[in-house]
Structure 1
Amino acid sequence: MPDVPISAQDRRLRLRREAEASRAEARALAESFDDSTGLSWFWALLFGSLYYIVHGFYARALVVLLLDLVGIGIVVSPFLAYPAWRKRALDRAEVMLSIDRGRHPMGRVLYPGRAPA
């Protein structure tokens, strides 16, 4: 059977659907990578930017530190904890899925003799 060329619009639609499916799969897998506790907000409130530094959220630590200088860091700090943990879990899930598909997370093929899946 001869190859039938597909239109650019069909190609874009297929790529969009694949990307949506990949994002949904990453969100489902991210729940297993979420390391936050039920008291993450409390520890962020209690320790502020030190909490974020210890857990490796350096940009959020800087934001909280700057907001502490203004005087509202203690109010904002607890609200930044859960989104930070969710973002980290989603990033880990996306890397895991990239590795599972045979591609390096930075875009290079892991096995040069094998075509990417």
Structure 2
Amino acid sequence: MPDVPISAQDRRRRLRREAAASRAEAWQLADSFDESTALSWFWALLFGPLYYLVHGFYARALVVLVLYLMGIGVLVSPFLAYPAWRKRALGRAEVMLRVDRGGHPMGRVLYPGRAPA
């Protein structure tokens, strides 16, 4: 089959489909990386900013600390726990997919001299 140049619109459409497929694959893989428990909200309610610090969610710990000082941290803290765990799981899934495809987690190619798959 001869090389037929594809239009820019077809190229964008193909890239959008590939990106959507990659996001769907990351969402499915993220379930295996999710380390939250059914009581994550309870521990976040009980320990507040300390819960987030222990688990490495430093920005959320700072936000919750400021909200505690304002008096509404107790109400907000439990609702920030599950999204934090989900975001971390998605990040780990995306890194794993990038490494699995032959790329470096930071965007560089793992094997110089060889084209990425």
Q: Which range, TM-score by smaller chain?
A: over 0.9
Percent identity over the alignment is: 85
Cα deviation for residue 106 of structure 1 reads: 1.4
Cα deviation for residue 56 of structure 1 reads: 0.3
Stretches (4+) displaced over 4 A: none
1:21-36 to 2 correspondence within 5 Å?
Answer: 21-36=21-36
Partner of 1:81: 81
TM-score (norm 2): 0.98
Which string of whole-angstrom CA distances, capped at 9 and with x for unpartnered residues, describes residues 40-73 of structure 1?
0000000000000000000000000000011000
Report the count of equivalent residues: 117
1:4-23 to 2 correspondence within 5 Å?
Answer: 4-23=4-23
1:63-74 to 2 correspondence within 5 Å?
Answer: 63-74=63-74
Query: Within the alignment, does 1:93 sit opposite 2:82 as a pair?
Result: no
Cα deviation for residue 105 of structure 1 reads: 1.8
Partner of 2:112: 112
Unaligned 5+ segments in structure 1 are none
1:112 and 1:65 mapped to 2: Cα distance?
Answer: 45
1:8 and 1:105 mapped to 2: Cα distance?
Answer: 28
Partner of 2:55: 55
Q: Quick one: which amino acid aligns to residue 58 of structure 1?
A: Y
2:36 and 2:70 mapped to 1: Cα distance?
Answer: 27
Cα deviation for residue 101 of structure 1 reads: 0.1
1:93 and 1:58 mapped to 2: Cα distance?
Answer: 21
Unaligned 5+ segments in structure 2 are none
Cα deviation for residue 109 of structure 1 reads: 0.3
